């Protein structure tokens, strides 16, 4: 398969190096296009008001892997690859392996997920991969699962174009309970902005939020799929979580709730 790999941790991150080399070893045609520095939590941001630069990178990856370092965001990298750098359209877009989890509401801010979603927007099946620990450097289990998942997708393609958001528990492979298809859960944070003063006497703020709680149930509509565990719940139990995502954020129950408005005057400005 032709595989395009991106991330938000940057070109020097161990996660992307382990993933690209592992998939390259399986005989896939692997191209890496990722930020030249860490761009975590950039969401789906794009660079519109300054040039984007990309340079070939050698010696970081195995010789079978073609790699580019890009000055833009994770989403920029995938867009640039698809429309400027690659001669052939990839069969699969993979983002990661991220250093840290992308569970529940994290996915709204995640550059890792955003990079993979660019593939889905262009009708290319995509995977976002994360190791659910910020300090662990044991990527072997996540790489092995990614390799097996890609092999499965190669033999039996997904029924539709979607993004598989995969989180791997940071435990020994022997301790992984299995893989679970999961729905998106909720993670709540306390957002704390520390007020500081720089050497020139100017005030600045540093976001220092911390995880408050991880909920087992999601807010709003689960689409009638409450028989599936949440990703937060499954990762707690040492399962690899696989959550299918789409970019359409329409709230299904909300459409039904607002149906009664159809027969009313919606010109609120004149009410």
Domain of residue 154, CATH code: 3.40.1210.10
Domain-embedded: residue 213: no
With respect to residue 23, please indicate whether it lies within any of the assigned structural domains.
yes
Q: Give the list of residues 6+ apart from residue 255 with CB closer than 8 angstroms, or none.
A: none
Asked if omega into 28 is within 30° of 0 (cis), the reply is no
Residue 69 lies in a domain: yes
**pLDDT tens figures, 183-236:** 998 877 777 788 899 999 999 888 776 666 555 454 444 555 678 999 999 999
Q: Show the domain range for 134.
A: 2-185+221-257
The predicted structure's pLDDT at residue 219: 47
The confidence score (pLDDT) of residue 211 equals: 64
Residue 199 lies in a domain: no
Number of Cβ atoms within 10 Å of the Cβ of 167: 28
264: tokens are 């009313």
**Alpha-carbon distance values, 78 to 72, 86, 125, 196, 208 (Å):** 10, 10, 13, 36, 29
CB atoms within 10 A of CB 262: 7
Residue 200 belongs to some domain of the structure: no
Q: What is the pLDDT of residue 220?
A: 47
Q: Are strands 210-215 and 126-131 parallel, antiparallel or unpaired?
A: unpaired
Residue 100 lies in a domain: yes
Number of folded domains in the chain? 1
Token code pair at residue 231: 């990703």
Task: Return the pLDDT at 24.
Answer: 97
Q: Tell whether 265 is covered by a domain.
A: no
Model pLDDT for residues 225-263, shown as the tens digit of each residue: 678 999 999 999 999 999 999 999 888 888 888 877 766
pLDDT at 159: 87
What is the H or E stretch that residue 231 is in?
Answer: helix 231-236
Residue numbers of the chain with a pLDDT score lower than 50: 216, 218-221
Asked if 234 and 180 touch (Cβ cutoff 8 Å), the reply is yes
Question: What is the CA 191 to chain-centroid distance, rounded?
Answer: 22
C-alpha–C-alpha distance, residues 14 and 10, integer Å: 9
Domain membership of residue 131 (yes or no) is: yes
| pLDDT of the residue at 221 | 47
| pLDDT, position 16 | 97
């Amino acid at each position: 398969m032709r595989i395009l790999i991106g991330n938000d941790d940057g070109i020097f991150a161990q996660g992307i190096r382990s993933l690209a080399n592992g998939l390259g070893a399986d005989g896939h045609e692997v191209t890496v296009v990722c930020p030249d520095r860490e761009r975590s939590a950039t969401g789906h941001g794009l660079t519109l008001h300054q040039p984007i630069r990309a340079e070939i990178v050698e010696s970081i990856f195995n010789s079978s892997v073609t790699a580019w370092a890009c000055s833009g965001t994770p989403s920029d990298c995938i867009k640039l690859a698809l429309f400027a750098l690659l001669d052939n359209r990839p069969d699969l877009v993979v983002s990661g392996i991220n250093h840290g989890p992308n569970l529940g509401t994290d996915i709204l801010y995640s550059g890792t997920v955003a990079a993979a979603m660019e593939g889905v927007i262009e009708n290319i099946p995509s995977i976002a991969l994360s190791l659910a620990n910020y300090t662990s450097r044991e990527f072997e289990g996540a790489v092995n699962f990614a390799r097996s998942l890609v092999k499965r997708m190669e033999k039996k393609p997904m029924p539709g174009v979607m993004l598989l958001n995969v989180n791997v528990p940071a435990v020994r492979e022997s301790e992984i309970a299995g893989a679970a298809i999961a729905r998106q859960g909720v993670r709540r944070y306390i957002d704390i902005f520390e007020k500081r003063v720089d050497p020139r006497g100017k005030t600045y703020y540093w976001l220092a939020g911390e995880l408050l709680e991880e909920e087992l149930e999601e807010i709003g509509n689960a689409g009638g799929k409450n028989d599936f565990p949440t990703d937060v719940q499954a990762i707690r139990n040492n399962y690899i979580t696989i959550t299918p995502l789409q970019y359409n954020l329409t709230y299904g129950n909300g459409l039904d709730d607002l149906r009664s408005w159809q027969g009313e005057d919606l010109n609120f400005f004149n009410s």
